[in-house]
Structure 1
Amino acid sequence: MNQNEGMLEPHLDKLGASNKTVFGHPAALFVLFFTEMWERFSYYGMRALLTVFLISEISKGGWGWSNAEAMGLYGWYTSLVYATPLIGGMIADKLTGFRKAILIGAFLMTLGHASMALEGFDANFFYVGLGLMILGNGMFKPNISSMVGQLYPDTSSKKDAGYTIFYMGINAGAFLGSLLCGYLGEKIGWHYGFGLAGVFMFFGMLQFYFGQKIFGVIGNKPLTTEEKSKQVVDKDEEVIPPNVVKDRLFVVSVLMIASIFFFLAFEQAGGSLSIFAKDYTQRVLEGNAATSFKWIDALLTLFPIVVVTIVLLALAKKIFKQYPLTIIFTLLSFASIAALGFWKIEREFTSLETEVTVSWFQILNAFFIVMFASAFSKLWEKYWNPSGPIKFAMGLFLVGFSFIVVAYGASGIPQGAAAGAVRVSMLWLILAYFFQTMGELCLSPVGLSYVSKLSPKKLLGLIFGFWFLASAISNKIAGVMGGMIDEISAKYSLSTFFLVIAIMPIAVALILVLMNPMLKKKMHGIN
């Protein structure tokens, strides 16, 4: 047993949580892994469809909105999704506890998807569904991230690795949601895509509900003053001087501000990059290209199903006897996913025409995450573990570089070119999503881990709420900037539009490198 594992078991015992481990991490992490996976299936499945649905012709079941109008709604929706966690974190800290907040959020999101699936009967159902999704995300998102952090001692080097594994679950859900909801929505009917996401959110809620005891006291309803006095308190938390807390919160604030510049670029995926995929990317394939795509798409569909099935079976082996319903509901949901995946593959191979869906490009980010998350986890844990600011700088540079790639790919599109007039190779978007993913692996899971390690325990839910509030700001900016795609393209060029987006995160990356020595000092030993 290595030192980290020796620290982990007594930490879990103290919290009354299961000390069983899967792949060297708490089994409870993987219950959160699957819960978050289905929530991300829900969110990204809908996100993959939203802009495309709004700008698609009415004759194709869409609403026929302009790019600017669609990006306006997209920006408001995604920003509110990330703003409400501030309130959800406060509610969990003061009233409900993390677990109950997660269940409330999951239930609201299930209702939201059900409402969106009825948009064909009345457009108001669509807006009601968006509202429920916003509220549900607010209750769910900050609190499940907070629970992950509490599974590890603050000094454990496994914490970053644990968040990276958790992030792999996020992206497995994002991949499958974008793939299957996007495919059903674009090929069969929009309401099928919107509705499917809700089914698996419901499964996620059930598997979490029946596995709650695995967490011990983590995430319980906030205790009374008398109950708190009887608990074993983390001694390190009691003796942290106020100036250290202040310095660490300053570092958290800098990282939050930097994350805004990352996500205002990254969140173009559901906005301007979707518009670029729909209007300026060659998506109708023929001959060998079509055959190759069908095989690649089939492998991409099967790969995450196989990977996550391995994780699920490893978890089932450890906890099935204690938590059978949790495993049964997860197995049922994954069997359904596998059936849908095989149906999609069979349908594509028998189709006479090969047209890549717009939403297909959004699976690339999640696929690359699932593909490389373990490698990054091992890199940070065993080989090279630079400071948080340096990891953030790497992430910002890579996301900026991804837009330089798209700008180069779009350089042959003339100023003011009409939608569909010129189409470029799919390769540019594929490369862009690859570099964005490498940047995301440097920044997002590390950001969650640093917020958890640098924040005072009593403010953890609130600080996570602020982390997602920063994402809300970036999503709103992303919507505004994405809505300018037609204006900038007409006045300058589409390539210029993407270069403007590229410059900002790269500039912030350089600033973080310069600030790194000072920020490391203000962390006071949290590395």
Structure 2
Amino acid sequence: MNQIEERLEPHLNKLGASNKTVFGHPAALFVLFFTEMWERFSYYGMRALLTVFLVSEISKGGWGWTNAEAMGLYGWYTSLVYATPLIGGMIADKLTGFKKAILIGALLMTLGHASMALEGFDANFFYIGLGLMILGNGMFKPNISSMVGQLYPDTSSKKDAGYTIFYMGINAGAFLGSLLCGYLGEKIGWHYGFGLAGVFMFFGMLQFYFGQKIFGVIGNNPKNDVPEVTKLQDEVEEVIEEEPIPANVVKDRLFVVAVLMIASIFFFLAFEQAGGSLSIFAKDYTQRVLEGNTATTFKWIDAILTIFPIAVVTFVLFSLAKKIFKEYPLTIFFTSISFLSIAVLGLWKVQREFTALETEVTVSWFQILNAFFIVMFASAFSKVWEKYWNPSGPIKFALGLFLVGFSFVVVAYGASDIPQGAVAGAVRVSMLWLVLAYFFQTMGELCLSPVGLSYVSKLSPKKLIGLIFGFWFLASAISNKLAGMMGGMIDKISQEYSLSTFFLIIAIMPMAVALILVLMNPMLKKKMHGIN
């Protein structure tokens, strides 16, 4: 523990934040871990279904939209999901505080999923649900990320590791949501998949509500704090910053944040093809009906992929429960109930697939790969950054951009056997290409996304951190809209050139930006003024 952390600890105790630790990190981090996990369960569970639902035939319960139409709605929805955090961050900074904003957002998203589950009765419920999801995410997303940053001083070597652990929670939720909501939606009924996502968002809201005191005054309403608390918060800021930061340093650091935000647009433009063009590729051009030994092997792999992550995150829950159950029993109770439900659903899914006469891989199954690889490799990346190799933020970003670009080189090579203008379903290629692509995308994501959250927290002025996080997600909004526009061109480009050409175009952009960041690295490191 360095001197700043030693001087900060008494102030955190006075603020009422728990000093208990789990795996060497604040126990409060893991309350945020599970809250974010269930929110990501709801979001990615719905995202796994959205495009496939829209393009599926009306006879199969879908809406029968064209690929371009579906990608248009997908682009608008995902972009607005990431644009509203700018407003949500401002509301939390000025009015509600982070805690209330998170609870408001969770409630809105729960209602949104409930509305989407009613789409079979009236199509308007579907659009109302999307709207509630967009508003709820705006209140939730930037503020929970901000609270993670406040658990650590900027100089702590554990801050990047803490964000990586938090990111593992994000992807545990993404994995389980894509797996179970996608399976229910495609195999049983679309409204079951949409509705299941809302059930676990509700659980996440309850476990956070009953665990709020573990944060002390971190995340409280800035307008309603009593003078003594406000004074203590100011003292904590003084300890962290040591002295007022010169204006030119603030300007330089915000310049670095801006550069990283722009770079992230090109990363997520490619990465967000997962719910768009890559889903279309999986549906129309990937061999998903398996037979014989291949089918048996897949069933066992799918069973392991279903059960193992549930077991890993349950172990994390058990470790947290040992530390905080006495003080926060309802938080542990609701999280435990939700995990028991998940375990039952997972075992039901495995049993159903083993007894099925035909093995058909769902389109949404491929989206679990990214989250599974995150859960498997997040802790390894965390240890690498802490103990072995910890390059600057721009270099980590460049590596992430290169890897996500390379993932589309892999898909382009796999699609090279599909002739120009091939009719959907006429030619299908091996699942292996998508599996490899998601692996390289995940390695890139681990280099960029959690590191980006950490650097936004470290480089931003404390009083504007919610707003700056809002801008970070605004950059993601731009990238998601561009991703939808790009994905909507899949039919046109594949007809005029080839499907392989379409994916190569996507690959080139992030790889070019990676080279630019490597060249800018010395200048950006200087402008960070000691933040590493």
Per the normalisation by structure 1, the TM-score is 0.98
Question: 1:369-398, CA deviations, whole angstroms, 9 ceiling, x for partnerless residues?
Answer: 000000000000111100000000000000
Query: Retained in 2: the 8 A contact 1:83–1:138?
Result: yes
Aligned to 2:237: 234
Aligned to 1:507: 512
- TM alignment of 1:267-286, pairs within 5 A: 267-286=272-291
Q: CA deviation at 1:359?
A: 0.0
Aligned to 1:68: 68
Instruction: Return the letter of the residue paired with 2:237.
Output: D
Q: CA deviation at 1:303?
A: 1.1
Structure 1 unaligned runs (5+)? none
2:421 is the counterpart of 1:416 = yes
Question: 1:2-53, CA deviations, whole angstroms, 9 ceiling, x for partnerless residues?
Answer: 8897577446325320000000000000000000000000000000000000
Aligned to 1:451: 456
Q: CA deviation at 1:234?
A: 1.9
Question: 1:297-342, CA deviations, whole angstroms, 9 ceiling, x for partnerless residues?
Answer: 0000011100000000000000000000000000000000000000
- TM alignment of 1:353-502, pairs within 5 A: 353-502=358-507
Query: Retained in 2: the 8 A contact 1:5–1:24?
Result: no
Question: 1:149-200, CA deviations, whole angstroms, 9 ceiling, x for partnerless residues?
Answer: 0000110010000000000000000000000000000000000000000000
What is the RMSD of the two structures over their aligned residues, measured on CA atoms? 1.4
Aligned to 2:146: 146
Per the normalisation by structure 2, the TM-score is 0.97
Aligned to 1:129: 129
SS where residue 36 of structure 2 aligns?
A: helix
CA distance change for structure 1 residues 7 and 300 in 2, over 3 Å: closer, same or farther? Answer: farther
SS where residue 62 of structure 2 aligns?
A: coil
Aligned to 2:105: 105
Q: CA deviation at 1:224?
A: 6.1
2:330 is the counterpart of 1:325 = yes
Query: Retained in 1: the 8 A contact 2:11–2:232?
Result: no
Aligned to 1:303: 308
Query: Retained in 2: the 8 A contact 1:11–1:152?
Result: no
* Number of residues of Structure 1 aligned to a counterpart in Structure 2: 527
Query: Retained in 1: the 8 A contact 2:289–2:361?
Result: yes
SS where residue 328 of structure 1 aligns?
A: helix
Query: Retained in 1: the 8 A contact 2:98–2:220?
Result: yes
Query: Retained in 1: the 8 A contact 2:97–2:222?
Result: yes
**Percentage of identical aligned residues:** 89
Instruction: Return the letter of the residue paired with 2:214.
Output: I
Instruction: Return the letter of the residue paired with 1:139.
Output: M
- TM alignment of 1:28-107, pairs within 5 A: 28-107=28-107
Question: Which residue, out of 246, 253, 257, partners 1:252?
Answer: 257
Q: C-alpha distance in 2, partners of 1:252/1:68? A: 34
Question: 1:105-146, CA deviations, whole angstroms, 9 ceiling, x for partnerless residues?
Answer: 000000000000000000000000000000000000000000
Structure 2 unaligned runs (5+)? none
SS where residue 84 of structure 2 aligns?
A: helix
Instruction: Return the letter of the residue paired with 2:120.
Output: G
- TM alignment of 1:183-198, pairs within 5 A: 183-198=183-198
Q: CA deviation at 1:217?
A: 0.9
Q: C-alpha distance in 2, partners of 1:147/1:168? A: 16
SS where residue 416 of structure 1 aligns?
A: coil
SS where residue 97 of structure 1 aligns?
A: helix
Q: CA deviation at 1:452?
A: 0.2
Question: 1:415-440, CA deviations, whole angstroms, 9 ceiling, x for partnerless residues?
Answer: 00000000000000000000000000
